[in-house]
Amino acid sequence: DAGVTQSPTHLIKTRGQQVTLRCSPKSGHDTVSWYQQALGQGPQFIFQYYEEEERQRGNFPDRFSGHQFPNYSSELNVNALLLGDSALYLCASSRGRSSYNSPLHFGNGTRLTVT
């Protein structure tokens, strides 16, 4: 049973550049959420995708955008990178939007460093 997979594992970018991170959800899951985790902090919710649409969004600027494909995989795009965007980016998948009892399952994350 394949879990959540993310790519790439690590990225180094320069300020002002753009980055795309990718995620494939766990088998049987149709909802993908993205989180940013700075060092020493808990994951911060960026947004959630279900049925190829952004359904919920956290307190992140429009530089953060995403997409979900028909096979439920997802991309996170960040434009005009800032030093403060350096973090571990976590993709989490879950099953359905109408259940309270579907926990998040995380991928291994992408470590983004902005120089």
The torsion defined by the Cα of 20, 24, 29 and 31, in degrees rounded to 10, comes to 0
Closer to another protein by Cβ: residue 20 or 44: 44
Residue pointed to by tokens 């983004």 = 112
Strand partners, 64: 78
3-state secondary structure of 41: coil
Token reading at 90: 């976590």
Q: Which listed residue (7, 17, 20, 108) binds another protein by CB under 8 A?
A: 108
Which residues in the 23-82 window bind another protein by CB under 8 A?
A: 31, 33, 35, 40-45, 48, 50, 55-56, 59
Residue 102 binding another protein, by CB under 8 A:
yes
Closest approach, Cβ 80 to another protein, in A, equals: 25
Three-state DSSP class for 72? coil
Question: Counting contacts by CB under 8 A, is residue 9 touching another protein?
Answer: no
To another protein, the closest distance from the beta carbon of 16 in angstroms equals 27
Lookup: tokens for 48: 């959630």
Closer by beta carbon to another protein, 15 or else 97: 97
Token pair in block for residue 98: 């109408």
CA atoms within 13 A on the CB side of 52: 3
Q: Which residues bind another protein (CB under 8 A)?
A: 31, 33, 35, 40-45, 48, 50, 55-56, 59, 88, 90, 94, 96-109
